[in-house]
Amino acid sequence: MPAAVKAGTTLALRTPGVANRRAGVENPRMRRAALFAVLLALPACWSSRAFTPRERVDAQGPGGVPAALYAVPAAEPGAPSTAEVRVWSHGARARFTDDDREITELHVGFELENNGAAPLRLDAEGIVCEELLLDSLLQPALKPVRVQGDGAAAPGQTARVDLLFEPATDKPRDIDSFRVRFIVRDGERAALQQVVPFGPWTQGLDDPYWRGGYAFGWGPGCGPGWGAAWGPGWGWGSGWHYGPGPRAGWYGW
């Protein structure tokens, strides 16, 4: 038999239905809060960073990205130049490797246009990323971890070389600035030795090249790329979005 209840005692009765309904209200709220925290963290961890040359930005690379332009001196003193080099960057981005390491890849691209009579070659093995600043700390010089193209430009041809460097960080936003050193050779002669300084790209969001970048925003949605928003959704929407950042498919490989 049930134990006797002392007179004057008030019993608080809780039914399973009430408890379940309460849990059904609280759990979705908790799940939404947790999901929102994750969405906010993703852009911070995976945000890309755009870079542009800090000098001689008189040309464009593939897709319209700003590029530095350098004339290759002719072999004969006083003769007009018949070749030029365009140098650009598609920026830095974070990604996971096949063995689940999170790394940052920094891209630099070259085009060697040869309108002369002798073959020219961009010395890909001699390209170095130096004066790299990570969160204001100077880093050792880096050799590329990946090279696409051999840099050989026959007369009347244009050679393209794309390189990837791996700075010692998993956050692209840690990269403050860097410079790239390269050599163009005419046979064994060093026809051009040049250093190209790069800094963060600070053009406004209306720039046609960068406005389709990875982005996140507050509002009913965001532009193409990573997104987090108050309201209906993840991904596409009409809300304000924050950029700039490299577009998807930045290398064209």
Residue 25 covered by a domain: no
Task: CATH number of the domain at 148, please.
Answer: 2.60.40.10
Q: Supply the range of the domain harboring residue 39.
A: 35-47+206-253
- What is the DSSP code (8-state) at residue 188? T
Same domain flag for 185 and 234: no
Same domain flag for 80 and 113: yes
pLDDT in tens, 164-188: 999 999 999 999 999 999 999 999 9
Amino acid at 133: L
Determine contact, residues 181/124, Cβ cutoff 8 Å. Answer: no
Bridge partner list, 133: 138, 177
56 conformational bin, left if phi > 0, alpha if psi -120 to 50, beta if neither = left
Question: Which residues, 6+ apart, have CB-to-CB distance to 109 below 8 Å?
Answer: 61, 62, 87, 88, 89, 90, 160, 161, 162, 163, 251
Instruction: Please spell the DSSP secondary structure of 84-101, one letter per residue.
Output: EEEEEEEEEEEEE-TTS-
Same domain flag for 116 and 240: no
- Of the CA atoms within 13 Å of residue 126, those in its CB half-sphere come to 14
Residue 9 covered by a domain: no
Q: What is the pTM of this model?
A: 0.66
pLDDT in tens, 85-123: 999 999 999 999 999 899 999 999 999 999 999 999 999
Residue 16 covered by a domain: no
H/E segment holding residue 36: helix 16-46
Question: Which residues, 6+ apart, have CB-to-CB distance to 11 below 8 Å?
Answer: 5
Q: What is the pLDDT along the chain (253 residues), one digit of tens a residue?
A: 455 545 555 444 444 554 544 454 456 566 555 555 544 444 444 578 999 999 999 999 988 999 999 999 998 988 999 999 999 999 999 999 999 899 999 999 999 999 999 999 999 999 999 999 999 999 999 999 999 999 999 999 999 999 999 999 999 999 999 999 999 999 999 999 999 999 998 764 444 444 444 333 334 444 444 444 444 444 433 333 333 444 434 444 3
Residue 123 covered by a domain: yes
Same domain flag for 69 and 152: yes
Helix, strand, coil percent content, the chain, rounded in steps of 5: 15, 35, 45
